[in-house]
Amino acid sequence: MDRRILGLSVLLATATTYAESNTSLIGPVSDIVVITDRVGPEQENCQSFKVNEAMVADLLRHAILITHRQEHDWYLYGSCQAHGTLSTRYGEWQWQLLNLGTARITAVTGETFLLGDPREESSLEGD
């Protein structure tokens, strides 16, 4: 019985350490900088779309890689935008955050990846 508890404790400690070390899909992120926010149509109230570093980090912690089709099917279009940069062990990235749960990150190589926050999903399935 004690061996099983010890084994479970080691497994949980390892899982916790792993989860803390992988804070995003692109690994640990630092130096998040918001360059512009509140970008978008006035009639969409984009002036109130104020983004800070903590919001970007939170989205990256929860984000999953999605396709353009999944973005279309599972997320509402967010017309308000914020832009900035961040750093990983692979260099500086550019990011674009939209107000309804999607984001784009662009690597130093020019490759762009589409991210979605599952907490913001809004499926139109069945409509």
66 within a domain of the structure (yes/no):
yes
Each residue of 23-66: pLDDT tens digit?
Answer: 788 999 999 999 999 999 999 999 999 999 999 999 999 999 99
Q: Decide: helix, strand or coil at residue 84.
A: strand
Q: How far, in Å, are 43, 105, 125 from residue 24 at the CA level?
A: 33, 12, 28
Residues 6+ apart with CB under 8 A from 65: 25, 113, 114, 115
64 within a domain of the structure (yes/no):
yes
**Structural domain total, the chain:** 1
107 within a domain of the structure (yes/no):
yes
Each residue of 97-127: pLDDT tens digit?
Answer: 999 999 999 999 999 999 999 999 986 665 5
3 within a domain of the structure (yes/no):
no
Domain extent, residue 73, equals 24-119
What is the model's pTM? Answer: 0.76
